[in-house]
Structure 1
Amino acid sequence: MKIGIIGATGKSGMTILNEAVSRNLDVTAIVRNKAKLDDKTINVIEKDLFSLTTEDLSSFDVVVDAFAAWGDNVDQHSTSLAHLTNILKDTDTRLFVVGGAGSLYVDMDKKIQLMDGAEFPDAYKPLAVAMGKALDSLRQVTDVNWLYISPAAMFDSEGQKTGNYVLAGEEFSTNDKGDSYISYLDYAVAAVDLMSQSEYNQTRVSVRN
């Protein structure tokens, strides 16, 4: 399996890259600045996401979109996905999107999302809204094999790797203790596991411990 990881120098991208490398998979980091990579032996495409072409990605079985945008640039979650789906349309390459938890539904009718709640942090609301809009647009894409993977509400970059996780659907869920938690390391385990599975396509799943 050949895997390309966009944003491989970011927290989630690097964690997924390291997990894939640990399994001896053929991994390429797709980054704007290869000097930021810790492992200088990794295959690299040094290019901005918006400059990527179909030819750049055609050799990959899976492309992971771990692109992140903050502040005034949050709308790039939509524009970046639009670009990626455009260059991947009608190809066999699968697109895995590192998503957010704010758009998970908290009601069975799928009308109320986690970010709509009064307890959702104001500081993260613009990002959650932007990522939710990007997901809504992605749902309209039928000519790309995409999978959107939402983490739990608490997405812990400092958490431990247990190797255990629960795959859930569109609805917000918690464990037996009432916690919605996943470490970056266990999220990466789930993401790489999903690369070898074919039953999830053009849908969103969520991952928690």
Structure 2
Amino acid sequence: MSKNIAVVAANGKAGQRIVDEAVNRGMDVTAVVRGENKTDAQHAIIKDLYDLTADDLAGFDAVVSAFGIFDPAKFDEYSTSLKHLSDILSGTDTRLLVVGGAGSLYTNKEHTAQLSDSFPDNIKGVPLAMGKALDALRRRDDVHWTYISPAGDFQAAGPRTGHYVLAGEDYTTDADGKSAISYADYAIAMVDEIESDHPHDRERISVRW
């Protein structure tokens, strides 16, 4: 049975790729955007994320948050946006899937060190903010969430190969020591997770080539 999904921040680079993948698989897709819908989604909700209500998102099988922001003054919105979406989906069967970051992936078996620990201070802002949002999401047992981290090298213009490796909370690399994935192949993984009969409920997973 075809899924009925909403993609929040659908006009962004990741959001558009996820919409494309879902539409091409026959899903009924609603783009949630603040202005003109620039995607191929069949429907659109023209609203700011923070103005969304429970009624707006009622009845969807899944809601994807592709929210991203790069203004240091607004990094807290990684947390506040997920809190708002979680609050309005609380207690429902609608899944919340999050386009995450790689910085919070663990680099030791004890899970005490993260990839972002090695980043220069001037680029730590986004991964730290995203990691804080993930920590808050982990405390939610009233929402069916899945957080999907991309590889370290997340390539907006990378090819759609149709292949990816599914991993867990640990930072992993290929045989050459590389950690990369394209937005297009990340979108495949996201839609696969939406379609899965055995979803990663209340888990963070990661994907790479």
> Does the pair score TM above 0.5?
yes
Kindly report the root-mean-square deviation, in angstroms, between the aligned alpha carbons of the 2 structures. 1.1
The correspondence for 2:29, drawn from 19, 27, 38, is 27
Distance 2:195 2:26 in 1: 14
- Which residue is 2:131 aligned to? 132
- Which residue is 2:161 aligned to? 162
**Matched residue SS, 1:186:** helix
Q: Which amino acid aligns with 1:6?
A: V
Taking the TM superposition and a 5 Å limit, the aligned residue runs for 1:40-119 are 42-71=42-71, 72-117=73-118
- Which residue is 2:206 aligned to? 206
Question: Which ranges of structure 2 fall in alignment gaps of 5 or more residues?
Answer: none
TM-score after normalising by structure 1: 0.95
Distance 1:207 1:38 in 2: 24
- Which residue is 1:144 aligned to? 143
Q: Which amino acid aligns with 1:143?
A: D
Moved over 4 A (4+): none
TM-score after normalising by structure 2: 0.95
Distance 2:180 2:109 in 1: 21
Distance 2:23 2:150 in 1: 21
Distance 2:9 2:44 in 1: 11
Give the number of aligned pairs: 205
Query: Alpha-carbon deviation of 1:124?
Result: 2.5
Question: Which ranges of structure 1 fall in alignment gaps of 5 or more residues?
Answer: none
Distance 1:55 1:102 in 2: 34
